[in-house]
């Protein structure tokens, strides 16, 4: 994760075979969209990013493939604390520039640029690019997500929520909608608005009842509210789906300790 992962990726990327054609083809665009969705699934498992890179390799368009690599590097650059490793941002910009040299006026390629600026703290540059791209398409899923990142970087919750809701509406697929809903819940969580986070998580779980991570995160929110019984319920659901989920196992032990004094541990956990 973060700098360590990016340092491993950079030499490997230079050895991989990429499409030769300099054209921005329709097939290349479709493959690019599939790869972006794959990269967006990344949380901690590098295999997810490897799968995205292999998808970009199947493209017939070098500019789209290079832009895909740039986006994948952005995902890899995220550290556990939410910051971004500069080496990853620099590498992402280099790969994006390769794409832009071949196809300078492709909206779907250029939309990666504001993310790089936002995560680099270059918010003025990000705003300029966002304004330009929105003059072309102000309802594009990834541009709306860039706006989310832009306002979150400034700690402005109300603005971020506005763009979250727009991105949810603009999502083309259920996985995209689910992803943004979960991120909205996480945003509320970071701002300590746990009741709002829980409501959003419940909406997301409606579409993904087998998502252990969602159940675990909702358990955390209930914990923060002091509702340990509901936290335990969500924790059990998470572990039923993925019995080795590290965070959920830690939560199970914390809940047992918390509830023992109230005589609830045996009823809730069977021990």
Q: What is the pLDDT of residues 199-242, one digit of tens each?
A: 999 998 988 889 999 999 999 999 999 999 999 999 999 999 99
Number of H helices, E strands in the chain: 16, 0
Please report, for residues 14, 29, 62, 72, the alpha-carbon distance to residue 21 in angstroms, rounded to integers and kept in the order given. Answer: 17, 13, 6, 21
Instruction: Report the percentage of the chain scoring pLDDT > 70.
Output: 96
Strands (E), 99-160: none
Query: What pTM was computed for the model?
Result: 0.88
Task: Give the tens place of pLDDT for each residue, 47-103.
Answer: 999 999 999 999 999 999 999 999 999 999 999 888 999 999 999 999 999 999 999
Res 267: pLDDT: 47
Q: Is residue 262 scored above 90 in pLDDT?
A: no
In this structure, of 145-149, 151-155, 260-264, the range with the lowest mean pLDDT score is 260-264
pLDDT in tens, 167-197: 999 999 988 999 999 999 999 999 999 999 9
- In this structure, are residues 138 and 104 in contact, taking their beta carbons and an 8 Å threshold? no
Of 68-82, 115-129, 249-263, which range is least confident? 249-263
Domain 171-271 matching CATH 1.25.40.10: the answer reads yes
Examine the pLDDT at 268 and tell me if it is beyond 60: no
End-to-end CA distance of the chain: 36
CATH 1.25.40.10 placement within the chain: 171-271
């Amino acid at each position: 994760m973060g700098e360590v992962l990016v340092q491993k990726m950079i030499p490997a990327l230079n050895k991989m075979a990429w499409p030769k054609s300099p054209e921005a083809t329709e097939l290349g665009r479709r493959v690019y969209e599939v790869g972006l969705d794959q990269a967006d699934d990344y949380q901690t498992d590098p295999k997810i990013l490897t799968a995205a890179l292999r998808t970009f390799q199947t493209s017939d368009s070098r500019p789209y493939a290079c832009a895909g690599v740039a986006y994948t590097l952005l995902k890899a650059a995220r550290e556990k604390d939410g910051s971004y490793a500069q080496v990853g941002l620099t590498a992402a910009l280099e790969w994006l520039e390769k794409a832009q040299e071949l196809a300078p006026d492709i909206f779907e390629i250029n939309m990666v640029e504001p993310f790089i600026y936002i995560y680099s703290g270059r918010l003025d540059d990000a705003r300029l690019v966002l304004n330009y791209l929105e003059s072309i398409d102000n309802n594009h899923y990834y541009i709306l997500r860039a706006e989310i990142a832009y306002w979150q970087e400034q700690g402005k919750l109300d603005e971020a929520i506005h763009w979250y809701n727009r991105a949810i509406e603009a999502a083309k697929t259920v996985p995209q909608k689910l992803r943004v809903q979960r991120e909205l819940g996480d945003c509320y969580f970071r701002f300590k608005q746990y009741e709002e986070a829980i409501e959003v998580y419940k909406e997301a779980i409606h579409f993904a009842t087998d998502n252990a991570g969602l159940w675990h995160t909702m358990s955390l929110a209930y914990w923060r509210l002091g509702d340990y019984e509901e936290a335990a319920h969500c924790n059990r659901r998470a572990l039923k789906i993925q019995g080795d989920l590290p965070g959920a196992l830690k939560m199970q032990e914390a809940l047992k300790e918390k509830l023992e004094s109230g005589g609830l541990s045996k009823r809730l956990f069977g021990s």
